[in-house]
């Protein structure tokens, strides 16, 4: 994070007994580097019209940096545009993704705690109803926290995956280590 500051944390959801879980939930999202990567992917032809996010992604980009990253990619924005992207939906990334061309954004998560649209068991193979449903899937680190990672990885990367394009950031200790984009073309 810029300046060594960590993103604000949200309290863990209450457990069935009404107590908060002892381990705080990890907050995942889009920082300036990931925003730059996603704008580059869009400019490179990635179709973001039907975008799914794995986990509900926060937008962790300050006003000045968000303005700069759009301008660097030839997409000037107004102060009102930037303010709207940063404040819409309680600071989540949907308005940012709409600005990138998403006509539909769907959040796929393990619980409804943060307002997920779909709550499948990601430890099981994906169902036929989800196969090829999206043009792009953005994983901000959610798959790394799935108990049955090999099944989740196969479901995400197989030829009958969720989408034609998978974009993934690997975050460790608030540093972006790697970003990748995989194109899957339906034949």
SS3 letters across the chain:
CHHHCCCCCCCCCECCCCCECCCCCCCCEECHHHHHHHHHHHHCCCCCCEEEEECCCEECCCHHHHHHHHHHCCCCCCHHHHHHHHHHHHHECHHHHHHCCCCEEEEECCCCCCCCCECCCCCCCCCCCCCCCEEEEEECCHHHHCCCHHHHHHHHHCCCCCEEEEEEEEEECCEEEEEEEEECCCC
Domain ranges in the chain are: 27-183
pLDDT in tens, 38-96: 999 999 999 999 999 988 999 999 999 999 999 999 999 999 999 999 999 899 999 99
pLDDT in tens, 9-41: 443 333 333 333 333 345 688 999 999 999 999
Class of domain 27-183: alpha beta
């Amino acid at each position: 994070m810029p300046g060594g500051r960590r993103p604000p944390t949200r309290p863990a959801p209450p457990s069935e007994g009404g107590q908060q879980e002892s381990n705080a939930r990890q907050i995942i999202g889009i920082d300036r580097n990931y925003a730059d990567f996603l704008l580059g992917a869009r400019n490179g032809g990635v179709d973001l019209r039907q975008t799914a996010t794995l986990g509900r992604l926060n937008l962790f980009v300050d006003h000045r940096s968000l303005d700069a990253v759009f301008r660097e990619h030839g997409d000037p924005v107004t102060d009102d545009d930037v303010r709207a992207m940063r404040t819409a939906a309680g600071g989540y990334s949907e308005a940012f993704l709409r600005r990138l061309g998403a006509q539909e954004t769907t959040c796929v998560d393990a619980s409804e705690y943060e307002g997920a649209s779909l709550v499948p068991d990601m430890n099981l193979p994906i169902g036929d109803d989800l196969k090829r449903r999206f043009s792009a899937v953005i994983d901000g680190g959610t798959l790394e926290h799935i108990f049955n990672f090999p099944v989740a990885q196969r479901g995400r990367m197989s030829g009958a995956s969720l989408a034609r394009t998978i974009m993934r950031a690997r975050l460790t200790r608030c540093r972006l280590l790697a970003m990748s984009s995989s194109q899957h073309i339906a034949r």
